[in-house]
Amino acid sequence: MKNIRVPKTFTIIMILSITIVSFVMMDGCKVPESITSKSGAQLWGENCIRCHNSPDPKGYSDDQWDAAAEHMRQKAILTNLEITKIRDFLKSAN
Ligand code: HEC
């Protein structure tokens, strides 16, 4: 069987495209500005009201907020950053 020679230009194009694709993918993982710039109070007001009245921070203790936040993170399909901000806000205001 003959040795298959891969032309240099092909190798260069492959390396270039892998580099470009990884940059595009890394960019896709960045958290959008619209989320990072929002405060916990804002996210709480905008998200929790989608299904029920935004709950009163005073209604639960810190431990209860930890449990409820994890429960609602799954229900509301929020990112870790969003729920962390909301939870910190709720705990600071209870
Ligand atoms: C997709 C709809 C939905 C969203 C969005 C949502 N919730 Fe809920 N939540 C529910 C439902 C349904 C219940 C009651 C049934 C249950 O507990 O699963 C509930 C119950 C609760 C309770 C009662 C205790 C508990 O854990 O069951 C708290 C507290 C609460 N939600 C807080 C929040 C907060 C804070 C947010 C915003 C981050 C939020 N919810 C967003 C659907 C939602």
Tell me the pLDDT tens digit for each residue of 13-55.
988 888 888 777 766 666 666 667 899 999 999 999 999 998 9
Cβ–ligand 1 contact at 41 (below 6 Å) = no
Other CB atoms within 10 Å distance of the CB of residue 90:
26
Which ligand 1 atom sits closest to the C-alpha of 68?
26
User: What distance in angstroms lies between residue 37's CA and the mean position of ligand 1's atoms?
Assistant: 24
pLDDT grade for 4, boundaries at 50, 70 and 90: confident
User: What distance in angstroms lies between residue 63's CA and the mean position of ligand 1's atoms?
Assistant: 16
Provide the token pair at 53.
Answer: 């009245």
Pick from 38, 61, 72 the residue to mutate for probing ligand 1's pocket: most ligand atoms within 8 Å of its CB: 72
